[in-house]
C-alpha cells in the first residue's frame, strides 16, 4: 500500500478572527467548514481549503483566545508548504510584504508565528494556492522516521531528506541537538495522511499495529474518519479517509457560512453558541 499524500494539517492559533482574516483574506483560502473542536466544543475548529475542501488542500485550526505561543522544535511539524503556480511568487512576495530568495520558495509566518511557505509548481493558473506542497518534520533521530515513510507508507526517498508521494513531499530536518518543541499557538498539532476509503484505513491500522506502533481506534470526525499514532520521532500522525467530505451536511455553495455541529452536540447548540466568540465571516 502507498499513501497518496497529505490529507490535512491541523495547527493551534490564538485569535479566531485574526486567523480567519489571514487565511481567507490574505492567503485567499476558502473557509469550507465552521465547526467546533469535537473533544472541546468550547472552541472553534476552522477548516480552510480549495473551493470544495479537497483532501490535500485542507488546513485546519483550533483557535483558543489568548493562548500562549508555542515553540517549534524536535518532534514537530515545523513548516507547512503550500503550492502556487509558477510565476506567481513576485505577486505573493508583494502581497505578503516579504523578500524573495533565490529559490522557488517564499517563506513567511502566520500571525501566531507558524512557519509557512509557498512553493512554485507547474500546475494551476493565476496566483491561487491549490494544495499542500509538503511539510517539514524536525527530528533528533531521523533514521526510523525515514524508514516509516519509505518502507511502510510508500514515500519515495529523494535528496536532502526529502520523501515524495504522488501528491506532495515530507522533508525531515535532522537536528540532533534541537530541543523539544512545545504545543501552543503557532505550532502544528498533527499532520494527517490520506486513505482513499474506510476499508483502506482499516488495512493501514492493521499494518501499523504489526509495526508495533500504538494506533487509536477509528474516530468519527463527521467529514472523515481518523486513526492516530506517533511516528518514532514523536510527531502525531493521522490517517484520515477521503469520504464523506465537507458536503455531507451542507451544500457546496454555502460551505463554511454557518456553524455546523455533529448530531451528538446539536442538543447543546444554544449553550455552545453562547460561549463561542463572535465572528465576522468572509463574504
What CATH class does 6-275 carry?
alpha beta
pLDDT at 22: 98
Domain boundaries of the chain, sorted by first residue: 6-275
Query: Looking at residue 154, what is its pLDDT?
Result: 97
pLDDT of 159 > 90? The answer is: no
pTM across the whole model: 0.97
Distances (CA, A) of 83 to 67, 123, 150, 283: 29, 9, 23, 24
Q: How far, in Å, are 153, 155, 173, 191, 223 from residue 145 at the CA level? A: 11, 11, 11, 14, 28
What does the alpha-carbon distance between residue 115 and residue 100 come to, in Å, rounded to a whole number? 15
Length of the chain: 283
Of residues 190, 155, 239, the one with CA closest to residue 80: 190
pLDDT tens readout for residues 98-152: 998 778 999 999 999 999 999 999 887 899 999 999 999 999 999 999 999 999 9
Show the CA angle centred on residue 44, arms to residues 39 and 45, nearest 5°: 75
pLDDT in tens, 54-112: 999 999 999 999 999 999 999 999 999 999 999 999 999 999 999 987 789 999 999 99
Write out the three cell numbers for 129: 494556492
| Whole-number percent of the chain with pLDDT over 90 | 94
Residue 118: strand, helix, or coil = strand
Amino acid at each position: 500500500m502507498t499513501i497518496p499524500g497529505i490529507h490535512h494539517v491541523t495547527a493551534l492559533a490564538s485569535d479566531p478572527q485574526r486567523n480567519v482574516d489571514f487565511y481567507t483574506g490574505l492567503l485567499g483560502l476558502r473557509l469550507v467548514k465552521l465547526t467546533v473542536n469535537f473533544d472541546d466544543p468550547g472552541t472553534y475548529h476552522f477548516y480552510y481549503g480549495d473551493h470544495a475542501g479537497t483532501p490535500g488542500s485542507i488546513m485546519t485550526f483550533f483557535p483558543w483566545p489568548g493562548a500562549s505561543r508555542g515553540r517549534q522544535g524536535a518532534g514537530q511539524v515545523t513548516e507547512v508548504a503550500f503550492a502556487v503556480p509558477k510565476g506567481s511568487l513576485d505577486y505573493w512576495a508583494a502581497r505578503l510584504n516579504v523578500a524573495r530568495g533565490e529559490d522557488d520558495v517564499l517563506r513567511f509566518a502566520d500571525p501566531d508565528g507558524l512557519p509557512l511557505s509557498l512553493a512554485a509548481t507547474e500546475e494551476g493558473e493565476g496566483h491561487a494556492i491549490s494544495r499542500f506542497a509538503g511539510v517539514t518534520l524536525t527530528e533528533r533521530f531521523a533514521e526510523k522516521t525515514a524508514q516509516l515513510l519509505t518502507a511502510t507508507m510508500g514515500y519515495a526517498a529523494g535528496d536532502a531528506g526529502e520523501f515524495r508521494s504522488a501528491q506532495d513531499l515530507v522533508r525531515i530536518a535532522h537536528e540532533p541537538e534541537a530541543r523539544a518543541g512545545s504545543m501552543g499557538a503557532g505550532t502544528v498539532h498533527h499532520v494527517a495522511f490520506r486513505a482513499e476509503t474506510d476499508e483502506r484505513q482499516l488495512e493501514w491500522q492493521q499494518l501499523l499495529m504489526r509495526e508495533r506502533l500504538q494506533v487509536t481506534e477509528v474516530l468519527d470526525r463527521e467529514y472523515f474518519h481518523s486513526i492516530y499514532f506517533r511516528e518514532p520521532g514523536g510527531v502525531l500522525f493521522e490517517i484520515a479517509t477521503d469520504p464523506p467530505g465537507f458536503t455531507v451536511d451542507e451544500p457546496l455553495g454555502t460551505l463554511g457560512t454557518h456553524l455546523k455541529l455533529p448530531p451528538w452536540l446539536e442538543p447543546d447548540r444554544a449553550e455552545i453558541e453562547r460561549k463561542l466568540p463572535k465572528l465576522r465571516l468572509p463574504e
